[in-house]
């Protein structure tokens, strides 16, 4: 009896050992699965929001964020291939863009004060939802309803942007850090008022010009609150000229930057605690499939948060078409040829603030740079434009006015010279580029009229 009992105990121990081994194997499989980005493919971005930790305008991730970046692709091969095509070949030793280097990686600063975006997010947490699920999100067949637009989270107010721009131009750069703002040639600057800025030193001057002009074009279109404020600065570390005082405190850091003395750089405000954004369903195309149209008939069954996001995306698609920016959603579409699930991953240079508002980042590929490469990228930008048939009425009105007066480039130049003291140092669009901007304004206006006619005919 004693021997049988011992044998029984041995069997029980063996069973427990097998069970523990099985549980360990299951845990290993699960830990490998949680970093697979494909599992988020069918969910809307708000439902698939990753923990704080992002590219540009500062995400300050918690310590565990490194193991929970659900939206990061397992391979960067496609991004490397795309980045190699962003610019013409540089000179030997010239810094080149690498994978994921179009934005900011967050420096560790756990003690950073609560940002304006966080305060706005907390305030919006108590906001009233859309009036009722039965209310139509679209009016007139092609315009977002006023009730829906009222729910779009605020971005950078004109007053806040003006205050920061003044501080960025008048203050001193007291520290420069590497590795936070994309390309190895860029730096994260700490200013004398305590704020931070991404300093971009373009591979060529037209990229810095593109960042600045895109910001002011957004102002012309009524979208500027979605872009971080951008100012120009002239780097004169040796003390000569107007910019010497601003950069004098970081002369040692500048020696290792390989920046040319007297170069014009852009300073874009850093924003804390941004998260990645995955393209909503209408643009979540896969290899071999056309983009789904964003029209009134496609909006049934979507919740308020999804609709609010689409309002902002409709502006983004028009903005990127007008500037011919290929370094955002277009880069994902391009990468479909290698990565059929790329549209389920984070969108380049687009982030979400804590209050839910989208932030359009790093626009240096727009206008001059984008216009020079139209032949390569418009086959992606044009389908994106055709995929949108619902618009903010204010955006459509701005486009209509610029089309009617045929003065898009003239108005952009007026704004640029009025608001940017260093505008003359980088020059403006060439006559050919100015005409391209007007042509694209005209085409967007024609597209809006086309959508209006289809809606009137009941085809949307």
Q: Read off the tokens for 43.
A: 């969910």
Residue 85 pLDDT > 50: no
CB 171 within 8 A of CB 191: yes
Q: Residue 290, Cβ neighbours under 10 Å: how many?
A: 9
List, in order, residues 6 or more apart from 122 with CB less than 8 Å away.
none
- What local confidence, expressed as pLDDT, does residue 129 receive? 47
pLDDT at 253: 86
Confidence at residue 15, expressed as pLDDT on a 0 to 100 scale: 55
Q: Residue 181: what pLDDT?
A: 87
Q: What is the mean pLDDT of residues 345-372?
A: 95
pLDDT value at residue 303: 92
pLDDT of residue 114: 47
Contacts of 47 (CB under 8 A, 6+ apart): none
- Check pLDDT > 70 for residue 238: no
> Measured between alpha carbons, how far is 202 from 57 in angstroms, rounded to an integer?
18
**Which contacts qualify for 30-39: CB closer than 8 Å, 24 or more apart?**
34/68, 34/70, 35/67, 35/68, 35/69, 35/70, 35/72, 35/74, 36/74, 37/70, 37/71, 37/72, 37/73, 37/74, 37/341, 37/344, 37/345, 38/341, 38/344, 39/70
Query: What pLDDT, in 10s, does the model give residues 91-145?
Result: 333 334 433 444 544 444 433 444 444 444 444 443 444 444 447 899 999 999 9
**Of 19 and 57, which is predicted with more confidence?**
19
**pLDDT given for residue 62 in this prediction:** 34
pLDDT of residue 283: 84
Q: Residue 93 CB: number of other CB atoms within 10 A?
A: 6
Q: Which pLDDT value is given to residue 81?
A: 40
Q: What is the pTM of this model?
A: 0.74
Is the pLDDT confidence value at 424 over 60?
yes
pLDDT > 60? residue 230: yes
Which of 188-197, 248-257, 271-280, 431-440 is predicted with the least confidence, judged by mean pLDDT? 248-257
Structure tokens at 325: 């920016």
Q: What is the predicted pLDDT for the residue at 44?
A: 29
| Mean pLDDT within 190-207 | 92
Mean pLDDT of 380-403: 96
């Amino acid at each position: 009896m004693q021997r049988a009992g011992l044998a029984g105990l041995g069997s029980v121990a063996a069973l427990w050992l097998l069970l523990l081994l099985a549980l360990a194997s299951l845990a290993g499989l699960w830990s490998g699965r949680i970093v697979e980005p494909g599992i988020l493919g069918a969910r809307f971005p708000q439902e698939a929001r990753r923990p704080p930790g992002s590219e540009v305008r500062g995400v300050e991730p918690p310590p565990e964020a490194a193991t929970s970046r659900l939206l990061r692709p397992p391979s960067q091969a496609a991004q490397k291939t795309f980045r190699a095509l962003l610019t013409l070949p540089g000179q030997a030793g010239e810094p080149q863009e690498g994978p994921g280097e179009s934005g900011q990686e967050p420096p560790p600063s756990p003690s950073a004060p609560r940002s304006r975006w966080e305060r706005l997010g907390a305030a919006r947490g108590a906001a009233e939802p859309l009036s009722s699920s039965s209310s139509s999100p679209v009016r007139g067949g092609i315009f977002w309803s006023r009730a829906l637009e009222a729910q779009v989270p605020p971005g950078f107010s004109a007053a806040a942007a003006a205050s920061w721009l003044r501080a960025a131009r008048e203050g001193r750069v007291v520290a420069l850090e590497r590795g936070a703002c994309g390309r190895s040639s860029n730096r994260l600057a700490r200013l004398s008022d305590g704020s931070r800025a991404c300093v971009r030193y373009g591979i060529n001057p037209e990229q810095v010009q593109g960042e600045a002009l895109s910001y002011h074009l957004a102002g012309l279109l009524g979208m500027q609150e979605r872009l971080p404020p951008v100012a120009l600065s002239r780097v004169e570390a040796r003390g000569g000229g107007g910019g010497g005082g601003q950069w004098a405190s970081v002369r040692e850091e500048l020696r290792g930057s390989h920046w040319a003395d007297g170069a014009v750089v852009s300073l874009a405000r850093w924003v804390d605690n941004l998260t990645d954004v995955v393209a909503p369903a209408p643009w979540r195309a896969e290899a071999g499939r056309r983009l789904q149209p964003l029209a009134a008939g496609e909006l049934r069954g979507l919740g308020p948060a999804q609709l609010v996001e689409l309002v902002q995306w409709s502006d983004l698609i028009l903005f990127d078409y007008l500037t011919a920016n290929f370094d955002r959603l277009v880069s994902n579409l391009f990468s479909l040829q290698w990565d059929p699930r790329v549209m389920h991953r984070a969108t380049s240079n687009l982030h979400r603030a804590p209050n839910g508002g989208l932030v359009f980042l790093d626009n240096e590929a727009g206008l001059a740079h984008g216009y020079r490469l139209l032949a390569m990228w418009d086959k992606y930008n044009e389908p994106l434009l055709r995929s949108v048939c619902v618009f903010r009425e204010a955006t459509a009105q701005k486009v209509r006015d610029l089309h009617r007066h045929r003065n898009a480039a003239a108005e952009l130049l007026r704004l640029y010279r009025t608001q940017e003291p260093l505008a003359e140092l980088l020059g403006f669009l060439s006559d050919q580029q100015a005409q391209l901007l007007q042509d694209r304004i005209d085409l967007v206006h024609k597209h809006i009229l086309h959508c209006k006619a289809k809606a009137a005919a009941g085809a949307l």
